Amino acid sequence: MLHALYFCRGIRYLSKYCPQRYAMIGEMLCKEQHDIVLLQEVWSEKDYLFLKKKLASCHPHSHYFRSGVIGSGLAIFSKHRIRDTFLYRYSLNGYPYMAHHGDWFGGKAVGMAILNLGSLTANVYVTHLHAEYSREKDSYLPHRVVQAWELQQFIRHTSAGADVVIVGGDLNMHPQDLGNRLLRAYTGLQDSYLKTAKFDGCENGMTLIADNPFISKKELVPFEKGIRIDYILFKGSTKAEVHCDSMCTTKGSVPNHPFPYSDHEALTAELRLEPHTPAETGSDRKLKNKDSTTGKLAELVDIVTEARTEVKVGLHCAERMRYTAARTGVMGLALLFLELVIAAVPYLALGAEQPFPRTSFYLLAVLCFAILLTTSMLYIFYTMELKSLQGAEDQMRLGIGSLQEKLKGFCLAQLHNPSGRPPEVQEPGAFEPEE
């Protein structure tokens, strides 16, 4: 089965050569004949409808995930019938006043589509996480960690009945970043680039390269050649094994065209599905993995603890920003009260003249109201951010406790079970890493 991941960077009237690049992407998809295509940054529904019309013959089934002010930018095209879809919008996604970054307006989310691949059920997820604008001073790191936490929760809780799980998207995280490790360790998802038998593409699988004309080299600092932040992840089940036979990426330039498809390189992975033989299902499969389960549980405890620490850092920052907004609001309120007192002087002292010119008086009043309105909105926003961070931190605390109990139970069971049979301490849908 072929699975492709393309990044459109399609902001109408802002992105360079947007109509031409959509036409190029449509032609490429018609030519390549992938089974499943996942797209990000399709910000305009008109562009989605253009692709839907162009791909109607080769990908008759599609879905566009709507979210946020300008949309989630997520879309899926498939040769196989899409049985059901669902969208989950991340609770945290940057700040509205950082308009030049634009993530908050995009409504970052994860979209899920359920497909039938022959006799197998496949859950396919497409997502786009918050961008990292500075490697050294990443003020969005707590938000991205919470997004990774919510993503792994969403995948685990919705894929319990799936035979095959495929996740594709711009995670905006390096392979060893905290959120990436959290996602793969908790879900057992495998990285196509690391598991592929054959690779053809950019050096080290990079998907954001310095040679791309749409990329500013400042975005890549301190990585001169490029970075790998886009992924195709997969996982099998007791019914089917998934193997990545080959993977490739575009390499910046496109033959016979003056510019590439997008600022990101497109990924294509060829995934092969193999039904499990009866000898490899059930308890035999658990026996094969029992030696590494203890180590993986201990590693996951450390990863979630690290993520919880990062969320706490975000909590302290949000509390500080909310306090600053409240203090500024109080100052604005005091200034407004002082102005009202000054305005009342002519009425309290008969015959007295207004001490300030009318124009200055009105301008000051407008300034006071603007301060009050802005700080009130910021206070509400930071309160919402605090609640989301606190909710994620509470969930991580419970998750750590549950993992520690499983780890303790597994160790005790091994001590009292010299025959080596796997202990019954792991529930379906919970942590179940796969090799």
Residue 3 annotated to the active site = no
Mean pLDDT of 363-382: 92
Q: How far, in Å, are 88, 99, 129, 139 from residue 142 at the CA level?
A: 19, 19, 12, 7
Under DSSP, is residue 254 helix (H, G, I), strand (E, B) or coil? coil
Lowest pLDDT segment from 115-119, 278-282, 380-384: 278-282
- pLDDT greater than 60 at residue 387: yes
Contact 162, 188 (CB under 8 A): no
pLDDT at residue number 289: 57
pLDDT at residue number 233: 96
| Residue 145 one-letter amino acid | V
Structure-token pair, residue 94: 């940057």
SS3 of 14-29: CCCCHHHHHHHHHHHH
Mean pLDDT of 199-211: 93
Contact 174, 227 (CB under 8 A): yes
What stretch of H or E contains 201?
none
Domain boundary assignment for the chain: 2-275, 293-348+357-415
pLDDT category at 350 given cuts 50, 70, 90 is low
- pLDDT greater than 60 at residue 35: yes
What stretch of H or E contains 402?
helix 358-415
Distance CA 208, CA 302 (A): 30
Distance CA 187, CA 165 (A): 10
**Per-residue model confidence as pLDDT tens digits over 76-134:** 999 999 999 999 999 999 999 998 888 888 889 999 999 999 899 999 999 999 999 98
Length of the chain as a residue count: 435
How does DSSP assign 413-434, residue by residue? HHHT-TT-PPPS---TTSS---
Distance CA 288, CA 283 (A): 9
| Residue 360 one-letter amino acid | S
CA dihedral over 180, 129, 381, 369, signed as positive or negative: positive
pLDDT at residue number 353: 63
Distance CA 114, CA 164 (A): 10
Contact 169, 128 (CB under 8 A): yes
Q: Which CATH superfamily is domain 2-275 in?
A: Endonuclease/exonuclease/phosphatase (3.60.10.10)
Mean pLDDT of 334-358: 72
pLDDT at residue number 408: 87
- pLDDT greater than 70 at residue 43: yes
Structure-token pair, residue 19: 């109509």
Provide the H-helix boundaries in 112-177: 141-158
Count of beta carbons in the 10 Å neighbourhood of residue 299: 14
- pLDDT greater than 80 at residue 421: no
Mean pLDDT of 26-50: 92
CA dihedral over 199, 202, 207, 213, signed as positive or negative: negative
- pLDDT greater than 80 at residue 165: yes
**Which member of 59, 61, 130, 264 is catalytic?**
264
Q: What is the mean pLDDT of the chain?
A: 87
Phi, psi of 315, rounded to the nearest 5 degrees: -60, -45
Structure-token pair, residue 146: 């919470």
C-alpha R_g of the chain: 26
Distance CA 291, CA 305 (A): 23
Structure-token pair, residue 375: 């700080």
Under DSSP, is residue 342 helix (H, G, I), strand (E, B) or coil? helix
Lowest pLDDT segment from 32-36, 275-279, 298-302, 419-423: 419-423
Lowest pLDDT segment from 71-75, 130-134, 170-174, 346-350: 346-350
